[in-house]
Amino acid sequence: MSDPMEEGATSGWFSDETATFGDRVTGAREAAGMTREQLSARLGVKLKTVAAWEDDMSDPRGNKLQMLSGMLGVSIPWLLTGQGDGPEGPDAAPRSEVAPLLAEMRQLQADLGQIAGRMGQLEQRLRAATGSTAQQEMAE
C-alpha cells in the first residue's frame, strides 16, 4: 500500500485515489499539531466520535465539518474529496512559536461559525415573535 505522504501526491499530502476522509482528517490533525483528545475537546464532541471519523466509521454533521475545517486549516472540499486547500506538507510545518497562534486563529474561526449559527436561530425566533405580535395587534 502506498504512503499517502509520498512525493507526487496531489494537493498537499494525499492522493485522491488512496486517501479516505478519515485519512485526511488524521493527516490534517497531525499537521495542526493536535491530538485526538485536543481536537475532540475543541470541537465539543466525544473522543470516540473523532476516532470514528478518523477510522472511517462515521462522518461528521455539516456544522461539525465546518468547524473541523476551520480548526484544521483545510477546506471542506479537501476534507471530503482531497481537492482544494489541504494542510501544508511536512517541510512547510510552522515554527514552534507560530503554531499556537495558528491554533488560536482556527479556534476563533470555529467559534465564529458557532456564533453565526446561533445568531441565525435568534433571528428566526425574533421574526416569529414579532410576526405573532403583529398578527395579534391586527386582530384587535
For the stretch 94-105, pLDDT in tens is 556 677 777 788
Cβ–Cβ < 8 Å for 27, 4: yes
What is d(CA 88, CA 72) in angstroms, rounded to the nearest whole number?
Answer: 11
Residue 7 falls inside a structural domain: no
**Domains identified in the chain, total number:** 1
Largest CA distance in the chain: 74
Q: Which pTM was predicted?
A: 0.54
What is d(CA 27, CA 48) in angstroms, rounded to the nearest whole number?
Answer: 18
* CATH number of the domain enclosing 67: 1.10.260.40
Cβ–Cβ < 8 Å for 71, 106: yes
75: exposed, middle or buried (C-beta count within 10 Å: 0-12, 13-18, 19+)? middle
Mean pLDDT to the nearest integer, 88-111: 71
